[in-house]
Chains A and B, each alone.
Chain A
Amino acid sequence: MVFCLTQAATVTRPHSTHSSTGLLARTAALGILTAGPVFVFELGDQIPAIYPASDLFLAPFLAKVAATIDEVLHQHGLADDDRLFFAAFTAVTGFGLLLSGLMCVVAARVKLANLGALLPYSVLCGFFTAIGILMWTLGFSVDTGHKVGDVVLVVVST
């Protein structure tokens, strides 16, 4: 539940006059309700205590997707249309997950399950560090309602 809320709180719509945190939390919860049992059903016999939770790794990407959709809708004077926003957001997120899910299946079938291990170690380090920093900045946004970059710009300009 906490992970759903955290996922939802990181996704912001700067041009919308009302918050979508509740709907986004439900979107994250829907992932747990539908995808979570797949993990328990498929692997629960062999891996104890799986407890699937909304993956916060996706938060920076979803935040960017939401901001892009919000920006385009704002340009067309539709920033407050929740139906259009959620239809585009879930369709795009679904497409991304469909693509990565299929790639996971293909990677497993062609004996490339250890794909991550094929990348240079230093690249993996940089990649995960960047995601870690992005996660922290999202935590900052949840608390303050501002982006770290905006705050830094204000400080620099003063």
Chain B
Amino acid sequence: MMISALIRHAPSVVIGVIMHVLGPKNLFWVIALVGWTVGGSYLVMWLTGTTLQRAQGWNWFLQPSDLAVNEDYSSGSYGPPLPFGVLVSLARGDVYWEAAKATIPTVLALAFLYVIRCSLHSAALKKNIRNVTRKRSETPSPPLSSKKRAAPKEPPTPPKPFLTLGYILEHGYGYSQLIAAIAGGIAVAPSVAASLTLFKLGAESKAPQFGSCVLVLLFYLTNFQFVQYIPKPAFSCLMVLAGLDMIKTWVVGSFLKTQAKMEWMVAPLLVVLAFTVGMLTAIFLGVAISTFIFVATFYRVGTVKFVGSGLTLRSTVERGFLESR
């Protein structure tokens, strides 16, 4: 079982690692590697004489039955995942409340932690505007006609003053989540760092962004049937990439950045706690442990010390006459 599992997962790990190395240089590589994974899979199948049906049978691809909709379900009345189907199913009383109640601890953890995630993500998004604007201004322009060359060069548009962190969090993340919740979908997050290549293609204008939504609509309307022709590693490598990125940034990066290694030790401890007592409890325990460590460190600094008698807390710092008055 283990050998079989490792063999199945190995391609995703290899592709994920390559993406992790090349991705920061240019996002184009991530997209290209997904494409090469698909192409490479078909090449291997062609070389080994493996049919698509056999590869699907070996679970290297999603099977048509994975994507098929149960006939009882498809022939029934309006409901999820159709737009606002969740409201219809709620009104019709289709929700099995006992099952819903059992998920409350997980859902509360999701809501609380997702706000933190959105707060950090919106800060990263805001920070990235400057980088993107600079990158765009550095992009070499294509050769222009003499008429166009005469036109004055427009400076990169700076972000408008009202684009604060609060504005991004409320108008971007907040409203989009409310819409997704009512419509019955899953929340989305914007791309923080689109590459220079995408800008060269004119990806920053609104049309291609709405166009990508139209493409998703096509897949939505066709029940994602096209996906059975895409090998599983093309999906799972993205999960490996996301995992690697996070581990590198938040374990290795933070270890190098943190001077007090005792404080850093809370991070791996919190990981262990997250897998044993749950994520939300682990966060609260982590905050408590960090606070204790901070207080201990603060007292060791030596600049200010206090003597507590139970009734009073006095500083031991010797002060001058005027200060002590």
Binding site for B on A (CB under 8 A): 1-7, 9-10, 18-19, 21-40, 42-59, 61-62, 64-65, 68-69, 71-73, 76, 78, 82-84, 86-105, 107-109, 111, 113-117, 119-136, 138-140, 142-146, 151, 154-155
Contact = CB atoms under 8 A, between A and B. Distances in A.
Interface size class of B (residues with CB under 8 A): 35 or more
A107 B106 contact: no
Contact of A43 (B109, B112, B168, B234): B168
B281 interface: no
Of A22, A62, A98, A107, most buried by chain B (CB within 10 Å of CB) is A22
B168 to A, nearest CB: 6
Interface residues of chain B: helix, strand, loop or mixed (majority): helix
B99 A143 contact: no
Contacts of B246: 128-129, 131-132, 135
A46 B136 CA distance: 14
B159 interface: yes
Interface string B229-269: 01011111111101111110111001000100001111111
B106 A38 contact: no
B2 interface: yes
B180 A34 contact: yes
Contact of B266 (A23, A32, A120): A120
Contacts of A68: 99, 102-103, 106
20 contacts: A1-B215, A9-B62, A19-B65, A30-B180, A30-B186, A52-B188, A61-B113, A82-B72, A95-B181, A96-B181, A105-B175, A113-B165, A121-B263, A125-B254, A125-B264, A125-B267, A126-B274, A130-B270, A132-B242, A143-B236
Contacts of A101: 173-178, 180-181
A65 B274 contact: no
Interface of B: 1-2, 4-5, 8-9, 12, 16, 34, 59, 62-63, 65-70, 72-73, 76, 79-83, 85-86, 89-90, 94-96, 98-100, 102-103, 106-120, 122-123, 125, 129, 132-133, 136, 159-160, 163-191, 194, 198-199, 203-204, 206, 209-210, 212-213, 215-217, 219-220, 223-225, 227, 230, 232-240, 242-247, 249-251, 254, 258, 263-271, 274-275, 279, 282-283, 286-287, 290-291, 294
Contact of B254 (A54, A122, A140): A122
Nearest to A48: B204
B117 to A, nearest CB: 6
Given A90-B89, A125-B254, A53 B132 contact: no
A143 B73 contact: no
Contacts of B94: 83-84, 87
B79 A86 contact: yes
A4 B325 CA distance: 67
A92 B103 contact: yes
B284 to A, nearest CB: 9
B216 A32 contact: yes
B96 A72 contact: yes
B252 to A, nearest CB: 10
B25 to A, nearest CB: 18
Nearest to B177: A101
A80 to B, nearest CB: 8
A6 B235 contact: yes
A29 B80 contact: no
